[in-house]
Amino acid sequence: MHVAKWCHCHAASCVCLQGAVIMPLSAAERQRRYREKQKLTPQTLEAYKQKKHEYYMKSRKPIGLCDDREKRLRRRNWRNAQRDRRDHVKHTRSTFNVDTQSSPSSESVDSDVEPSPASSLGAIRQRYLRRIKRLNIINKYLKSKLRGVQKQCCRLKRKVTTAGMPTTPLSKSTYLMTQSPSKVKKTLVFHHALVQELNNTHRSARSYREKQILSKVLSGKVLKKYKMLSVANREFGIRRRQTLQHLRNKAKEPGLGYIPRKYCRFKIADAKHVVEQFFLEDINSRASAGKKETVTRNKEKKQKRYLNDTLKNLHKKFCAEKGMISYSAFCKFRPFWVVQSVERDTCACKKCENVKLKVRALHKLGELCTQDPSICLTVSDQMLRQ
């Protein structure tokens, strides 16, 4: 039995067993063993890395740092590499020309992209990329034009198909009656839903501006032409006077713009003075008996006067005697020292109260049109005189 013994002959290029050569080591095996040997200690590993770095930097050394001899060698290598590259491009170009001339698709290649003798593969590639980019832009433009033409065709087809359709509300209604019951039902449901939606919107409107704009929509020439203004007024609770006013405003200024209210002036000349004199009459108000019953406003001290009737009854009396004026203006022009009575020293006897209760009961039953006993007495006096 032979015992294998390692030997390092010929710089570790072979393996021997007692002088017998088994096989030589390859270059890759020797390099692998050398790298493993360098990694055994940190010192050898650092030296190995430093050596590899110096070798790399030597090969990547800028030409400006080289001496004259190194510059000549490096430039000679560059010239040789450039010559080899030109020969390769020339061979590739000749092969490309032969293929394009033999193939039938060579006619589709433009003459402006034909490679020149001095062009390289990179230049050819850039030319074709520019051509592809230009064709993509043209394709995108043509697609947009095609979509525009398609939309125009659709509009023309729609006009042709709807040319024989009715256009007025009456003709549309007549045509709808000839259609299927489902279409009639759908149209009626849409009508009632739209009416209910507008009615809810009109009722929920709080400001005069919203109500005016909505009433403008529902009062137009089309509704007037087909005599539907009364129907719209009844459905949405719009006054006829307001509808006619909007029609006049639309004739002057069409649109849905807001028109502020125009408050008319009082027809009575010097209305404030007339209303004050009316309140200060003894038949409408009485002076207070107490000396200290005064009221002061803006450093003006006046003796109080108490009203003999309610403001609403006094307003009706004023309109009947002096002329028409709004209730708000009537209350506004009331003197500040004329106040409502809060005393209980008035007549509250059984006879007067029974008369008031009887008048209220008759008004509740619908026999009388007022709750004021004084009005009933006035009417009865007029009837007796006649």
What's at 206, amino acid-wise?
R
Per-residue CA distances from 69 to 75, 214, 358, 365 (Å) = 10, 98, 139, 134
The distance from CA 52 to its chain's CA centroid, rounded to whole angstroms, is: 68
- From the CA atom positions of the chain, what is the Rg in Å? 56
Q: How many CB atoms lie within 10 A of CB 243?
A: 21
Rounded to 5, what percent of the chain is helix, strand, coil?
A: 60, 5, 30
d(CA 186, CA 107): 63
Closest CA to 305 of 275, 332, 341, 273: 341
pTM of the model: 0.30
Kindly tell me the sign of the dihedral angle through the C-alpha atoms of 235, 240, 245, 251.
positive
pLDDT value, residue 9: 47
pLDDT value, residue 108: 46
Lookup: tokens for 102? 């033999």
d(CA 332, CA 311): 11
Weakly modelled stretches of the chain, pLDDT under 70? 1-23, 96-119, 161-165, 240-242, 244-269, 342-348
Collect all residues with Cβ–Cβ distance below 8 Å to 187 and sequence separation of at least 6.
Answer: 176
Collect all residues with Cβ–Cβ distance below 8 Å to 374 and sequence separation of at least 6.
Answer: 309
